[in-house]
Structure 1
């Protein structure tokens, strides 16, 4: 911004100087005793007057062209700058979990990225709180590249006895952009208040399918008999059904006689390992 102000000021001074010179030249041309006055009738006098006018027009055009070129260069540099910001993002698989993301949205690489926050970024740790680890320096982030880490769980953070007053953070990211340009700075307001009262819908994705397959593999692993394959248990269904029917009849007779229960646990009739 300072450079742009300097260019505009310089251009204004130059235009003012040209206008002053043009006014002086025109005043001289209008004088009756001037060799180039507008009432001149000779070809040489009109040629001199035309030359002065041409010089004025050329000077104004040069100033305009110079100003436009300087503005175009400023815009090219601004568009080429990286744009690194910090923001909060819900985990795509578990929306109640929120991550801290540092991302370069620009078209060129950002270098020497540093991140600071006021207050310090912390997460719930039971009834206490712990600092969220942040790198002291990220060497480079290519266009559309990001760095992220788990911040906190909304279910644990809200109404937390320690973090109740730490829900609003001012995160400042500083980084180097295009060569010979000043250090770039971006500031973000990260507020957990935006998530209070939110209702999240969990969608089942390939991630959940992989988790289910992992559980199936664990259960089937318990069924193996050494390295020879699965262990198989068999039972006589009819015998079990008859035993269950007999046990139920016995229990009914005991209730009628109001006798204390004697025998096996009633729940044992449903155990699959007993024949």
Structure 2
């Protein structure tokens, strides 16, 4: 079997000026097309970066409403319900729904949180950095009462232009606070109680001292009256 190898040879020396002109035109067209492709790719990349930057600015400028439980700064072992706008702009028409509805050992005091305007009417406007705090419960009493320890809170609100924002859902779980070791912290209520105890102690001591002084005066007066007559 005979294998034939065919080699394509180009005799550039035999090319006419028209051939060279045609080659130059083709090469120029390819180069132009390549340049256009690069320009389109660069424009698409630039647009993507601009869109991402705009999206980031818009997200940073949006309100961001957070709800959570927090330690009460005054009442030891007290639990607060906190609503805060951690965004950069105003939040409007903030509405909070909780499943199941809030229940607390403090409800018997006549001010259940689930019936408060905060929960039933919402918040007309919540400026950036604004925080609203409501006393929710006290840990020892709640654990003993067997009340729900986990709630699902959904927050709906609008931006400063009245545009509805994506609803935010939070899992409020009190079990993470249960059985944790806390250092003993004394707040203003403890200080007030201590001052009342000190005041009571001083009053009792003053009363005892006054009674003792009166007793001694009476004893001295009685001794003077019983002395020898001249």
Pairing 1:97-176 to 2, within 5 Å after superposition = 97-124=78-105, 131-132=112-113, 133-135=116-118, 136-160=121-145, 164=146, 166-176=148-158
- TM-score, normalised on structure 1? 0.57
SS in 2 for 1:188: strand
- TM-score, normalised on structure 2? 0.67
Q: Quick one: distance in 2 between partners of 1:62 and 1:151?
A: 55
Pairing 1:157-236 to 2, within 5 Å after superposition = 157-160=142-145, 164=146, 166-177=148-159, 179=161, 182-205=164-187, 208-213=190-195, 234-236=213-215
Q: Tell me by how many angstroms 1:45 deviates.
A: 4.3
Gaps of 5+ in 2: 1-18, 205-209, 220-230
Q: Tell me by how many angstroms 1:146 deviates.
A: 0.9
Q: Tell me by how many angstroms 1:207 deviates.
A: 5.3
Gaps of 5+ in 1: 1-36, 223-231, 241-275
Q: Quick one: distance in 2 between partners of 1:201 and 1:176?
A: 40
Task: Find the partner of 2:52 among 71, 83, 89.
Answer: 71
Aligned residues: 194
| Equivalence for 2:8 | none
* Deviates most, 193-202 or 120-129: 120-129
Q: Quick one: distance in 2 between partners of 1:50 and 1:195?
A: 68
SS in 1 for 2:45: helix
CA, structure 1 residues 200+238, in 2 after alignment: closer, same or farther (shift >3 Å)? farther
Tell me if structure 2 keeps the 8 A contact 1:100–1:148.
yes
SS in 1 for 2:69: strand
Q: Quick one: distance in 2 between partners of 1:49 and 1:180?
A: 53
Q: Quick one: distance in 2 between partners of 1:206 and 1:130?
A: 23
Q: Quick one: distance in 2 between partners of 1:96 and 1:158?
A: 12
SS in 1 for 2:135: strand
Q: Quick one: distance in 2 between partners of 1:165 and 1:235?
A: 57
Tell me if structure 1 keeps the 8 A contact 2:75–2:189.
no
| Equivalence for 1:269 | none
Cα deviations by residue, 1:73-103 (Å, 9 ceiling, x for unpaired): 1111112222111111111232321111111
Q: Quick one: distance in 2 between partners of 1:126 and 1:101?
A: 18
SS in 1 for 2:129: coil
| Equivalence for 1:227 | none
Q: Tell me by how many angstroms 1:41 deviates.
A: 3.2
| Equivalence for 2:226 | none
Q: Tell me by how many angstroms 1:194 deviates.
A: 2.2
Q: Tell me by how many angstroms 1:204 deviates.
A: 3.3
CA, structure 1 residues 102+238, in 2 after alignment: closer, same or farther (shift >3 Å)? same
SS in 1 for 2:23: coil
RMSD between superposed Cα atoms in Å: 3.9
Q: Quick one: distance in 1 between partners of 2:192 and 2:111?
A: 31
Q: Tell me by how many angstroms 1:165 deviates.
A: 5.2
